[in-house]
Amino acid sequence: MCPMDHEKRSHRGAPGKVSKRVAQGLRSRDSLLRAATRQFAERGFSATSIDDVCRDAGVVKSAVYWHFESKEGLLAAVLEETATAWIDGIVASVQQTGDPRERLSRAMVGMRDLVENRPALLRLLQSMLLERTGENAETRAVLVRVFDRARSALTDGIAEVIGSRPPGLETTAALLLASLDGIFLQHQLRRDVAELDRMFAELERAIVFLVTSLFNEAQRGRPDGTAGADRTPPADGEADK
Amino acid sequence: MCPMDHEKRSHRGAPGKVSKRVAQGLRSRDSLLRAATRQFAERGFSATSIDDVCRDAGVVKSAVYWHFESKEGLLAAVLEETATAWIDGIVASVQQTGDPRERLSRAMVGMRDLVENRPALLRLLQSMLLERTGENAETRAVLVRVFDRARSALTDGIAEVIGSRPPGLETTAALLLASLDGIFLQHQLRRDVAELDRMFAELERAIVFLVTSLFNEAQRGRPDGTAGADRTPPADGEADK
Amino acid sequence: MCPMDHEKRSHRGAPGKVSKRVAQGLRSRDSLLRAATRQFAERGFSATSIDDVCRDAGVVKSAVYWHFESKEGLLAAVLEETATAWIDGIVASVQQTGDPRERLSRAMVGMRDLVENRPALLRLLQSMLLERTGENAETRAVLVRVFDRARSALTDGIAEVIGSRPPGLETTAALLLASLDGIFLQHQLRRDVAELDRMFAELERAIVFLVTSLFNEAQRGRPDGTAGADRTPPADGEADK
Amino acid sequence: MCPMDHEKRSHRGAPGKVSKRVAQGLRSRDSLLRAATRQFAERGFSATSIDDVCRDAGVVKSAVYWHFESKEGLLAAVLEETATAWIDGIVASVQQTGDPRERLSRAMVGMRDLVENRPALLRLLQSMLLERTGENAETRAVLVRVFDRARSALTDGIAEVIGSRPPGLETTAALLLASLDGIFLQHQLRRDVAELDRMFAELERAIVFLVTSLFNEAQRGRPDGTAGADRTPPADGEADK
DNA sequence: GATGAATGAGCTTTCATTCAT
DNA sequence: AATGAATGAAAGCTCATTCAT
């Protein structure tokens, strides 16, 4: 009768207990979600039929409508999940240890890993961005949220590393994200791992430079050195030659 | 029975009347092409029906099959046209006058213009890349060609500016293209012109830095200064502080 | 496994707790019945889905199968109830007090009330008649029974009033019922209360005339005046001018 | 591309000429219309699937969408056609020759014929009235128009017969239509031809009475007898005993 | 008694494509 | 070259019904 909200209702009494049938329900919901993520990422939303998804998930068509109400609803759920995973990837790549230069370097490796090994994430987000933001406001809202959180994570990470938050930092983070997206797109086309390495190296150099100069500007702005004085400025063999 | 080559056939008899028919034919072919570009860019290939395109073009459905043989054929034609226009845009942005720094700056303006005022170009290319490279080799080939030519144009342009062609230059050009794509994607989501300005400024700084250091490396590599000695190294107030 | 007869089964053990379950059961049965009556009357049987009914009743879908075995069974129950209510309405309108003319007048008011204030009754009966008598014999049987009882009630009422039961009386009663149905249909279309008033006034005049002439014929048939001589013939200022 | 308006376009030059293919098109359109009328009348709109109609018409499913745009559109076309036929039936029954009493009598025969031999007309109109006026304003509009034209035809016919148009005449006509509808409904249930005869006879008596008294009232209203003086008042052996 | 989930047939509609004119 | 009609597969979705819990 009214699905979609069954996760909120506790089944009479025992809250942790899910009555086998419900457990099976969650399992098929999950299969659908996984299959849909795969298919939407591979062929795009429009080009994927519900039958495609169900075949892949091993579930009958009407189950989609029980669990997600519509194809659009399935997409929304997929997007929500994927978005979370993608942000988690970004956050994980930011939370590194070591001196600033090393942290950045490891972050780049983390992002490269996203591009190379989790292509479904980025494919899905990007193709939804291109395919569906024109007509579906909800999809757009999800994507804006995703992007904002990823940028914030990056901004925070950099700010933590350099010990200050200079004004242009958000733009730098946004440019980093953009480059990540663009590199991914290019990699989708060429699938040349060596080129991928070179581009990430080049991107790293650029980011180091941008962050360093932002940092220096910020230092120059307050020469008393109160903020961030406890941290060494990011050392960069190339930028400050 | 054998369309697609009607441009080669000379029509028998009265040239005045025939050329009118041919002209009409070209006109509807053109309407279709324009409408298809719009629609494919806006909603993606799969989500656009031939009816959508024809409604937009004000042409009957069967005309598509006369002029382009199939939906796929229509896409190929659209892609060919769009690709040419996009490369032309890149080339035009590279062919600037003035001192190196100024040329780069103008090139950036040119690219920004592509992002802001010709979104259909990029949307179409990117969404075809995401939507169709999995299944359609021809589309992929077209896109690889487009990308290679754009990168060559950029590489050549930079090489001309700095008077040398250091080994990493292609990668820098590729990263520039990637960033352009990424910025475009982000702009599709946010439509924030001020942010677009900031990102392009940041990108310009990064590119100047990358090119400068490439140039410097190249200089260091051949200290006799034979190559490019007739040119001033790109001046950058920030990179060589 | 064998519902539908749960009203006959006495539940074992604690009567307090059981009666609570039973009461709840009756309550949802009732909600379903009410909702189904509304929905079937409004949109017809075929156009109403079990989900529609359940949404309206605030009950889960499977409850329908517990209480009524099938959609068809739900309809049967609805029809039974509605039919009873409708016949009760007719009977009530017939059982009036006062002199013959007054009784008829009041009966008309009662029928008009049915048309205006209990439209679901008539809508349901009529649409079932049109929608389902082709394929479903049971529905047809119910409706025939309903109609016969209503006609009998009318016939009896008139016979009581005029003190005799002339041969054509049943037809007059049937025509009265038919007119009632037709007026109802028209009212469904126009929803014009003033027109409804006029039509009922006109109908009343016609019925008075028909009954009067039936009565007169019957009198003429037995000139000794034994039957019904204790009653004044229905007075009608227009018919016997 | 844009069907539905092909009837307005003349095919280049020759206006009467329909190019075989178009003629075939009109033929399938017609088959669909006929089949849909049958099926909708028999099973109701909702209970009839497009497949049902197409099977009956011997036409493929998508043709419905070419000719009528949707199931709703098909209904609209069916309704328009049926309505016209039904009004024509009423009009034909009114246009009779002979003295007033005879004309009425023949009109009743005509209406009876509609009830008995063209049941699809009435079934369709009535069931659409019950099934679809709640949700579809267009259907309602069509039906109101139909009803109004039928009532006008009756009113005009009676007015012509009695040589005047007394104020209550429209109501009498509406009641006559209502009775016709109600009798039809009852006949759908019982299919008893003898009863049908009796009811029409009874209805005729009632109508004669109502019209006569309307006429007499009108005469009393203008005792100079200018209007309608050239016509004998309708003679009725029963009403003016 | 009630519930959440499943099931598969069938629904209306859209689609790319074909074809005779 | 263009058009109106046809075609059939497949799309997204709804439905009545069943079933284990």
Per-residue HEC secondary structure of chain A comes to CCCCCCCCCCCCCCCCCCCCHHHHHHHHHHHHHHHHHHHHHHHCCCCCCHHHHHHHHCCCHHHHHHHHCCHHHHHHHHHHHHHHHHHHHHHHHHCCCCCHHHHHHHHHHHHHHHHHHCHHHHHHHHHHHHHHCCCCHHHHHHHHHHHHHHHHHHHHHHHHHHCCCCCCHHHHHHHHHHHHHHHHHHHHHHCCHHHHHHHHHHHHHHHHHHHHHHHHHHHHHCCCCCCCCCCCCCCCCCCCC
Please check the confidence at residue B237 and state whether its pLDDT lies above 90: no
Residues 107-126 in D contacting C (C-alpha not used; CB under 8 Å):
123, 126
pLDDT at C99: 87
Spell out the domains of chain D, with CATH numbers in brackets: 19-69 (1.10.10.60), 75-221 (1.10.357.10)
Secondary structure class of B165 (helix, strand, coil): coil
Question: pLDDT class for A18, splitting at 50, 70, 90?
Answer: low
Tokens of B44: 């993606």
Higher pLDDT, B227 or B195: B195
From the centroid of its chain, how far is CA C175? 15
The answer to whether A115 and A93 are in contact (CB under 8 A) is no
Q: Hunting for tokens 């006799």 — which residue is that?
A: B224
Give one DSSP letter per residue of B52-121, joined into a string.
HHHHHHT--HHHHHHHHSSHHHHHHHHHHHHHHHHHHHHHHHH---SSHHHHHHHHHHHHHHHHHH-HHH
A92 Rama class: left (phi>0) / alpha (psi -120 to 50) / beta: alpha
Q: What is the DSSP letter of D70?
A: S
Residues 186-215 in A contacting B (C-alpha not used; CB under 8 Å):
186, 188-190, 195, 198-199, 201-203, 205-207, 209-210, 213
What is the rounded distance in angstroms from the CA atom of residue A59 to the CA atom of residue A62? 9
- Pairwise CB contact (< 8 Å): A182 & B186: no
Cβ of A61 near strand E (under 7 Å)? The reply is yes
Please check the confidence at residue C16 and state whether its pLDDT lies above 60: no
What does pTM read for this prediction? Answer: 0.84
Instruction: Determine the residue of chain C that is closest to D210 in CA distance.
Output: C206
Cβ of C49 near strand F (under 7 Å)? The reply is yes
Chain B: give the shortest CA distance to residue A240, in Å. 8
Question: pLDDT class for A147, splitting at 50, 70, 90?
Answer: very high
Q: Report, as an integer, the average pLDDT of D205-223.
A: 84
Nearest nucleotide, C1' to the C-alpha of D62?
F7
pLDDT at A123: 92
Q: What is the pLDDT of residues C131-178, one digit of tens each?
A: 988 778 888 888 999 999 999 999 999 998 888 899 899 999 999 999
Scanning residues 151 through 170 of protein chain C, those with a beta carbon under 7 Å from any atom of strand F turn out to be: none
**D14 C-beta neighbours (distance < 10 Å), count:** 9
Cβ of B67 near strand F (under 7 Å)? The reply is yes
Average pLDDT, chain D: 84
CA of residue B62 to C1' of nucleotide E18, angstroms? 9
Q: What is the pLDDT of residues D44-68, one digit of tens each?
A: 999 999 999 999 999 999 999 999 9
Q: Residue B186: list chain A partners with CB under 8 A.
A: 147, 174, 177-178, 181
Residue to mutate among D126, D175, D192, with most C CBs inside 10 A, is: D175
pLDDT at A223: 59
Q: List, in order, residues 6 or more apart from C102 with CB less than 8 Å away.
A: C96
Average pLDDT, chain A: 84
